[in-house]
Structure 1
C-alpha cells in the first residue's frame, strides 16, 4: 500500500508540474505578446510623430521660402521706386541738357544703380588723380616704393594750375611720396601729379585692366562707370589696406566743397573734383548710413553744372536715406 501511495503521489506531482509549466508558458507568451503589441504601438507613435515633425519642418521651410521671396520682391519694388524718384528729380534739375551730364550712382549695400550717359567719355580732368593714387598705393603694397621714397622735381614736371607746389619748387628739390600724394589729392596739385606719374606705368592701361572698359583714342577721357568701378575698388580695399585707406582719408580732406558735398554733410564725402576747359566734374564715396558711390561728369554747362552737381548730390542723398 505504501509503495502504491508513493506511485500515486509521483503521478499527481508530475501532472501538477506539467500544468504549472503550461501556465508559466502561457503567462510568458501573454507577456511577450503584450510587449510586442506595446512596442508596435510605440513604434507607430514614433513614426507618426516623426512624420508630423518632418511635415512641420517642411511647412516651416516653405513659409520661410515664401517670406524670402516676398522680401526680395518688396526690395525690388522699393529699389524701382527709388530709381524712378532719382530719374525724375535729375530730369527736373538738368532739363533739356541731359546729354551734357554723365552720372553713375551705386548703392554699396543693395547694389542699386542709377545711370545717365554712364558709358559716355568725358574729360577726366583732375579726377584722373584717383587712379594715379591707386597705382601708387599698389606700388607701396608691393614694396616697390615706400612712403618716404624721395622723388626729384625736374623741369619737365612743371604744370600750370593751383596747388601747394606752384611757384615754390626748384629743379633738384625732392619730396617724399606721401607728401606728393597729399598735395595731389587734397590740393589737386598738378606738379605733384607729374612727379608721381614718373614712378608708374600707363594710367589708361591700369584703368582698362580694372574696369575692362576701353577709351582708346581719347586722351585723358574716362566714363562715369569707369570712375565708379575704381571708387568701389578703393572702398573695398580700404577695409584692410592702409595705403588705400590713406587715399580715402585724403579724399575726405579735399579743399573744394562746391559740388558733391556742398549741400550734404562734408565729413562723410570722400571725393575728387576735376575742371578742364568746358568740363566740370566730381566723383566720390559718400559714407552715409547707407554708403554709396556717386560720379558726376558735365560738359558745356560750367557754373550751372557745378550747382547742378550739388543739387543732384542732395537729391540722391535724400532718396538713398529715405528722406525724400
Structure 2
C-alpha cells in the first residue's frame, strides 16, 4: 500500500458522508505525512482545550502559578464582548459533577485534568480566565501554529452571536501534537505530563475506536452541533508513534460520520503498522 493509495481510500470513504473533512497525519518515525484540506478553518470546539492546557504548563514553568495552586470553583464568567456576566448550564456540559463543587477549592491540576479527559466546560472557563485566551493564541504562534485562534471560553453567547469563535486547522493541531510528542513544548517533563493527561481521555469514539487495545492514544476530541473532531498522538506497542487529526463540519448524520472517521483512523493505523515494501 502506498501513501497515495491510502489517501485515495480515505477520500473515497469520506466522500460517502455529507459534510466537510480535514485530515493531517504524520508518522513520527519516518516523517511521512498525509494531508487533506489541512489548511481549512474549522470551529475548534473542544480541541482548543489542548492549547489552553499548553498555556497552563508554559505559565507554570515561568512561575506565574503552580499546578498545585487551588482556586474557588465558580460559575460566573465575563463575555469578551461587553464584560457582562454569564453562567454555564450544567445540562449542556459533558461533565456535570463539577457543578456539585461550586464554592469549593479545586487544584489547577484537577481543573486541567477535567477540562481534558471529560471536556468540562466549567473547568475550561476557569482555566481560560486564569491564563487569558490572548496568551494562548500567542503561544500557538510561537509554536508554529499560525491559524489557531483562541478568543474565549465556552458558552459566551454574545461572542458567538457576533461570530467571535475559536477556530483551528488540521495542520495547526498536527504542529502542536508533533512538538508535544517530541518533548518540545515547554520542556520534556511538561510535554510528558500533558501526554499523560491526554492518555486518560474518556471520549474514545473516533481515533481509538477501531484500534487494538494495546495501542494507546493521547488525544482530545471536540464536538458541537454538526461538528466532530479528534486529534492527538497514537503510540504503537513497538515504540512507533504518529500524530493524527481528523476534523469535520456541516455534518448531516453525526453517527455515520463518527463511524467513517473511526474507519479512517483504522486505515492509517493499518498503513503504519504494516511492513513496507522496500
Decide: shared fold, TM above 0.5: yes
Change (3 A) 1:184 1:251: same
User: In the alignment, is the contact (CA less than 8 A) between 1:152 and 1:195 conserved in 2?
Assistant: no
Answer 1 or 2: which has greater helix percent.
Answer: 1
Secondary structure at the counterpart of residue 211 of structure 1: coil
2:147 alignment counterpart: 214
1:205 and 2:157 aligned = no
Taking structure 2 as the reference length, what is the TM-score of the superposition?
A: 0.80
Which of 115, 122, 136 in structure 1 is aligned with 2:56?
136
User: In the alignment, is the contact (CA less than 8 A) between 1:127 and 1:273 conserved in 2?
Assistant: yes
RMSD: 2.3
Which of 263, 270, 293 in structure 1 is aligned with 2:210?
263
1:235 alignment counterpart: 181
Aligned length: 243
The whole-number CA distance in structure 2 between the counterparts of 1:295 and 1:154 is 33
1:122 and 2:42 aligned = yes
User: In the alignment, is the contact (CA less than 8 A) between 1:259 and 1:309 conserved in 2?
Assistant: yes
Secondary structure at the counterpart of residue 155 of structure 1: coil
Select the structure of larger CA radius of gyration. 1
Which of 225, 228, 236 in structure 2 is aligned with 1:277?
225
1:168 alignment counterpart: 100
Runs of 4+ aligned residues of structure 1 deviating over 6 Å after TM superposition are: none
The whole-number CA distance in structure 1 between the counterparts of 2:4 and 2:69 is 50
Taking structure 1 as the reference length, what is the TM-score of the superposition?
A: 0.69
1:85 alignment counterpart: 5
User: Using CA pairs below 8 Å that are at least 6 residues apart, which structure has the higher relative contact order?
Assistant: 2
Which of 102, 110, 121 in structure 1 is aligned with 2:22?
102
The whole-number CA distance in structure 2 between the counterparts of 1:215 and 1:188 is 19
Answer 1 or 2: which has greater strand percent.
Answer: 2
User: In the alignment, is the contact (CA less than 8 A) between 1:122 and 1:221 conserved in 2?
Assistant: yes
The whole-number CA distance in structure 2 between the counterparts of 1:270 and 1:155 is 29
